Structure 1
Amino acid sequence: MSFKYSFTFPISGPNKLPRFKNWAAQHAADIEVSLPPQVPVKSEALTIRLKSVDDRNALQAKLAGAAL
């Protein structure tokens, strides 16, 4: 099964990928994601790929109150 769905959410500052990976390991370990190889420091958003709409909705709900 491939990662057909994307989800973009606001995140700023350096080390976006490590911060998201740590958060996902603690709060969303059951959701499989595909991350980009790198994200520019000046970028204000992160787009990740997901396998299903249900995964996207679950991740969106979990990120609603998260401070990344």
Structure 2
Amino acid sequence: MTFRYSITLPATGSHKLPRFARWSRETAPDIVYSLPPQVPIEAETLTVRLRSVADRDRLRSLFPAALP
């Protein structure tokens, strides 16, 4: 599976990866994505890799102002 597209989302605080995974499971379970192995706590963004432009646009439209 190739993830050619990416989107950078605002995400502050710790546990960004599990928080994003939970949010995506609840909000957009049909979008297939790839996350980095880890993200520093100090980072204020999260880069998500996606398979298509349509997935990227849909994720952008569904994502809140900040990661819950």
Category of TM-score, reference length = shorter chain: over 0.9
> What is the aligned partner in structure 2 of residue 15 from structure 1?
15
* Percentage identity across paired residues of the two chains: 50
What TM-score comes out, normalization by structure 2 length?
0.93
Letter in 2 for 1:63: F
Distance 1:67 1:21 in 2: 11
Matched residue of 1:49: which SS? strand
Does the CA-based 8 Å contact 2:6-2:47 persist in structure 1? yes
Cα displacement string for residues 20-44 of structure 1 (whole angstroms, at most 9, x for unaligned residues): 0000000010100000000000000
* In 2, Cα distance between equivalents of 1:56 and 1:42: 25
8 Å Cα contact 2:19/2:67 also seen in 1 = no
Runs of 4+ in 1 over 6 A off after TM superposition: none
Which stretches in structure 2 are left out of the alignment for 5+ residues? none
How far does the alpha carbon of each residue in 1:42-63 deviate from its partner, in whole angstroms, 9 at most, with x for none? Answer: 0000001000000000000000
